[in-house]
Amino acid sequence: MNKDLLVLLHPFFAVVVVFPLIGVVVNRAWQVRQRRLQTLQGKSKIPPVVGQDHVQLGRWLTGAVVGIVLVALAVDISGSILDNQVWSKEPFKVALIGLIFAVAISSLVLLYQAKPALWRGIFATLTGIALVVLGCQDGIYRKTDQWYISHYYYGMIAALLMIFSLAIVQNIYQDRKNRWRSVHIAVSCLALLLFLGQGITGTRDLLEVPLSWQEPYVQKLYEQQCEMKPCTIQAPAVHKAP
C-alpha cells in the first residue's frame, strides 16, 4: 500500500469512528446526569437504559481511541524501520517493537475481561506502559519542542485517561460515597478537552506532514532554515536518456 495512503488511516478512523463515538458518549453522559438530578426531585422521563448505554459506548470509545493510537504509531514506526533499514541492522529491536505492540493489544483485551481490581490495575498499567514505550520510538511525529500544542502528547494523554476510566468502571458502581464517580467525571472532562485539541492539532499536522515525494524538499527547507529567511530549493535535475 502507498505510504501516503497509510498516513491517512489515522485521520480516517478518527473522523469515521472516534469523533462520532465521542459525541454519542457525551450525549449519554449528559442524559445520565439529568436523570440522576430528576430522580432526586421525583420521577424522571429519561429511561434507565441510558446508564447502560453510556457504559457500553464508553468501553467502545476506549478501544477505538487506543486502537487509533496504535494505528498511528504503527504507521510512523514501520515507515522509519523501512526507510532506515532497521530490520537488517537491528533485527532484535524490530522484534521487540512487535512484541510491545502485541503486549499493548493483549493487555487491553484482558483489561476488558478482568474483574478483580488488582488485575484491572495490572492490565491497565501494562497497556499504558506499552503505549508510552512505543511512542518513544524513532519516526514518531511528536513536536516535543511544542509539547503544549502537540497532537501526539494530547492523543497519548487522552488514551491513558481512557484506559484509566475503563479500569475504574466497576469501582464507580461499588463506591457508595461517589468518590470514584467524581474522579470519572473529572477525567472525562479533561479527556474531552484533549479530544477538542486533537481536532485542531490533527488538522494542523495534516498540513505540516509532507507527502512522500515532498519530503526531500521540505527537509532541505528546514536544513537551510527557510522558515526564518527567504530561500529557494531547486528541484533535482532530471537526466533524459539519449
Contacts of 150 (CB under 8 A, 6+ apart): 142, 143, 144, 201
- Residue ranges of domains in the chain: 3-212
190 contacts: CB under 8 Å, gap ≥ 6: 161
Calpha distance 152→158 (Å, rounded): 10
Distances (CA, A) of 242 to 32, 33, 163, 238: 75, 76, 62, 12
The per-residue pLDDT for 238 is: 47
Nearest partner of 61 among 219, 147, 188, judged by Cα: 188
Q: What is the pLDDT of residue 177?
A: 86
What pTM was computed for the model? Answer: 0.88
Low-confidence ranges of the chain (pLDDT < 50): 238-242
C-alpha cell at 242: 539519449
Dump pLDDT digits (tens) for 28-66: 999 998 998 888 787 888 888 999 999 999 999 999 999
Q: Which residues of 44-74 are buried (b: 16+ CB within 10 A; e: fewer)?
A: bebeeebbebbbebbbebbbbbbbbbbbbbb
- For 62-106, the DSSP string reads HHHHHHHHHHHHHHHHHHHHHHTTHHHH-HHHHHHHHHHHHHHHH
